[in-house]
Structure 1
Amino acid sequence: MPSALALAGGGAVWHLRGSLRAERRRSDRLQRHAENLTRQLRAAELILGQVADEVVPAIQAAVVRPGAGQGVDFTLPDALTGTVIADRVRAVVASVAAAMRQVQYDAETATSVQVSQVKQDADAAAAEAQRAAEEAAQAAVRSFAASLVVIASKVSRQISEGVRRHAGGEAYETLVTIDRLVQQLLLVAQNYVILGGGKLSRRWPATTFTDVVQAAMGHLEGFERIKHEESDVALTSRAVGPAVHTIAVLLDNALKYSPSSASVDVRLLNGHHGLTVRIDDAGLQMNREAVMAARQTLNGQKTAPVTQHGAHPRTGFAVAAVLAREYGFSVDLEAPNSYRGTSVQLFFPSHLLTHVPEEPAASTQPAPAVPAPQTTSTGLTVRRRGAALAPRQPTGDEHAQPGRPSVVAAWAAGTSRARPTTPEGA
């Protein structure tokens, strides 16, 4: 009998070890996949900057100075090999070059009487070629970014399944770390979907501003530095997704450009004409020229196609401007604020506001005792199966620290709200 028990126990241990190794391999594959997507997106940013800043102007020079600009060096990064955007970029450059060669040929063979007209035609053709190149590049960016959104959304759902299965296991911390990276990748990819003329495809119900802010936090590393007020005022369904995304990119800016020890404050100010979300950071103060340029971008006075954001684009304000213009809210900026940093205000007019129906009153029966939360070695709270996560009500002036139940609950709630329930980019 003891031998049978020993054999059974040994078999169980062998099976558990095998399962753990399999999950570790799966976690490693997911992490490598997320890192590969990030490399592809960075390579796409660089090549689009090269096309806009070097390739198209070099080809256009052939029209202005016939005989020049015949050869244009153009090398795609290895990270884009075999991708949709690589094929689109090659096609754009080839079509522009062909159009320019035709214009050159016509110009060189024209008579002196026709030179003036040919030059005008060449300028018009160059402008049309550049417009076509920008439109094609924009479509390529939109298609590529939408594909990234779909893939990253699938990876995120797989990670969520892994987190639920391995709460408390050794793979839990790795899965949570990968999930944060994937949420940041989703945010960046969605930025390019928007700048490429696409839409946010997720459909939301009417949602309170408290949940909107927490959903935005779910995309961000360092979310525990964000302190936000609460409000039961809600946004109408159509405006929720754009508001979540806009607040996320603005909070991301605030976190990146302020000290890691400083908090970022989010205030919710309800007024007669609407509700204002105010984001204050204690980061580097923008100079007057930078503030003016940012405000021109945010109010729509200054726009640029996706190909003209440079090799190292800062897309946050441009994305916020597009969403605000399309969905009827506004974004403004001022500096310095009371912290000598930057303040951004999002104003949502009253026609975008509503109230979410109150939930049924809680039962008068005493609630069962809740066991103390278990944590991993680095302070991450272990989720229990079947238990809904809800942020713990703050007491006094408690400051969020990594590993506290309230922080992990906010992260879990935010990432759950931020994670698409329907495929994005489809």
Structure 2
Amino acid sequence: MSTLIQNIVLLAVPTGAAAGAGAVAVHYRRRAAERLGVIRQLEGRVRDGEQRVSARDEEARNLAAQRLPALIVALSRGDGGRHRDAGLLHPQLADTETGAAYHAVLDQVAVLANEAAERAEGAARAAVEAVVRSMQSLINEQQVAVTALQDLQSDEKTLAITIPIDHASSQLARRAQIVGILTGMWPGRQRADTPLLETIRGGVSRIRDYPRVEITGEPTAYVAGRVVEPVVLAAAELLNNAAQHSHPGTKVYVWYLEGHNGISIVIEDAGIGMAPEERERAARLLSGQNPVRITELRTPPRFGFQAIGLLAARYGFTVSVEQQSVHGGVRAVLHLPRALLVTAPTHAPAPEPAAGYVPDASAPGGHPYPVAVEDGLPMRRGRRGSGLPAAAPATSVPRPGAGRGLAAFVRGTSSARPNSTNSTDQEQIS
């Protein structure tokens, strides 16, 4: 209003034509300056708006090309909780609706992806567990049939056929147990307290290259019954790993170290060893602290260390492969604390051998196994106590001690055989 009054006053001043023309010029120059200021303000607003639109477009492209893919990769690897978002390219958008909307998109994707992963994991576990249970049932039937055949016919030809079948069946049962453990299944029924030496022999009997394993030492301690089967499985996986990653002509050495806090079973091989990053990954798996997801296993999947870690965490022993063996390979140490060891068995002693048999006193560890007098071959005791009659004719004259190695193997297979895995026979052991 004041500007308009000033303009009227300038036009009304009677200073002549020149003065009037000057006043008009001043008036229009002032109006032009004002309009130029408005135009410049509008241009600044336009530039600011264009910059904001450009920034939001860049953020949208960054969300689609960088932030969302990084989140999906992190979720697929199972470390979504530790995923660090790269954030906005333009921090000034952080407190705007655009920044909040993009953050909400990432949160919703993470929630949906986790829900989908949980559903997929549940379906995978259920499918794997169903397959494992059916396999274990068939394996158990096969082992029962082989045992019945060995009870009825114990001649050299029958043993030569049935023992490899029995050994292969034990390996298959072990692999099924390991896969089942990854799904949360229990390894088997609770057993009686078992000598530590026999427990390790049970693990030896469940691997393909058992003749290459050399055990030194005769510990007197017993393993508590509730952890016998887990220790057998863990030892078998460590022995199998040592044998598979070393030359077939080399030995796998097993020895014991007794300390104040427990006993360590040391397994050494002369294989290719492990790179530092492989040792770090193995240490994480063997700790049992990270959850195992069936849908996140590597290709090809490797179950051994993951299953050992779950068993160790569940039953209270520890396993490490952080040291190099004296032969350049891997030194694996399975440590059993005193809480898992007993000094004397809590079950009744084994029955005496049937008539017509003599104990093989030279068997490792001083645990005799009944051997036929006539041919020196081992005789596997059945549930009914059936045996080979003393008067049965010998098939041939064996060399001295011909059945000792086979006897030790059959004894280990029999003493550490996995029980039936039907749900009605399993006991949940805490």
How high is the TM-score relative to the length of structure 1? 0.63
Q: Which residue of 1 aligns with 2:179?
A: 192
Q: CA RMSD in A?
A: 3.2
In the aligned structure 2, how far is the partner of 1:326 from the partner of 1:369?
Answer: 41
Instruction: Tell me if the contact between 1:269 and 1:275 (Cα under 8 Å) persists in the aligned partners.
Output: yes
- SS across alignment from 1:339: coil
Q: Which residue of 2 aligns with 1:410?
A: 408
Q: Which residue of 2 aligns with 1:152?
A: 139
1:176 deviates by: 1.5
Change in 2 beyond 3 A, CA 1:113/1:295: closer
In the aligned structure 1, how far is the partner of 2:305 from the partner of 2:136?
Answer: 20
Aligned residue type for 1:257 = H
Aligned residue type for 2:274 = M
Report matched runs for 1:72-83 at 5 Å: none
Report matched runs for 1:246-285 at 5 Å: 246-285=234-273
In the aligned structure 1, how far is the partner of 2:307 from the partner of 2:380?
Answer: 37
1:180 deviates by: 1.3
Report matched runs for 1:309-328 at 5 Å: 309-328=297-316
Gaps in structure 1 of 5+ consecutive residues: 1-63, 66-111, 376-380, 390-402
Change in 2 beyond 3 A, CA 1:372/1:297: same
| Structure 1 residues 311-340: Cα deviation after superposition (integer angstroms, max 9, x where no partner) | 322211111100000001111113421111
Change in 2 beyond 3 A, CA 1:350/1:201: same
In the aligned structure 2, how far is the partner of 1:296 from the partner of 1:120?
Answer: 29
| Structure 1 residues 12-55: Cα deviation after superposition (integer angstroms, max 9, x where no partner) | xxxxxxxxxxxxxxxxxxxxxxxxxxxxxxxxxxxxxxxxxxxx
In the aligned structure 1, how far is the partner of 2:99 from the partner of 2:268?
Answer: 64
Aligned residue type for 2:412 = G
In the aligned structure 2, how far is the partner of 1:340 from the partner of 1:388?
Answer: 47
In the aligned structure 2, how far is the partner of 1:214 from the partner of 1:301?
Answer: 28
Aligned residue type for 1:129 = A
How high is the TM-score relative to the length of structure 2? 0.62
Instruction: Tell me if the contact between 1:286 and 1:335 (Cα under 8 Å) persists in the aligned partners.
Output: no
- SS across alignment from 2:324: coil
Aligned residue type for 2:268 = D
Higher Rg:
2
Instruction: Tell me if the contact between 2:380 and 2:410 (Cα under 8 Å) persists in the aligned partners.
Output: no
1:383 deviates by: 3.3
Of 325, 338, 341, the match for 2:326: 338
Report the number of matched residues.
297
Change in 2 beyond 3 A, CA 1:368/1:206: closer
Q: Which residue of 2 aligns with 1:224?
A: 211
Change in 2 beyond 3 A, CA 1:141/1:299: same
Change in 2 beyond 3 A, CA 1:170/1:267: closer
Change in 2 beyond 3 A, CA 1:119/1:340: closer
| Structure 1 residues 389-412: Cα deviation after superposition (integer angstroms, max 9, x where no partner) | 9xxxxxxxxxxxxx9422111111
Q: Percent identity?
A: 28
| Structure 1 residues 152-173: Cα deviation after superposition (integer angstroms, max 9, x where no partner) | 0121111111122222264432
Aligned residue type for 2:129 = R
Gaps in structure 2 of 5+ consecutive residues: 1-67, 70-97, 360-371, 389-400, 425-430
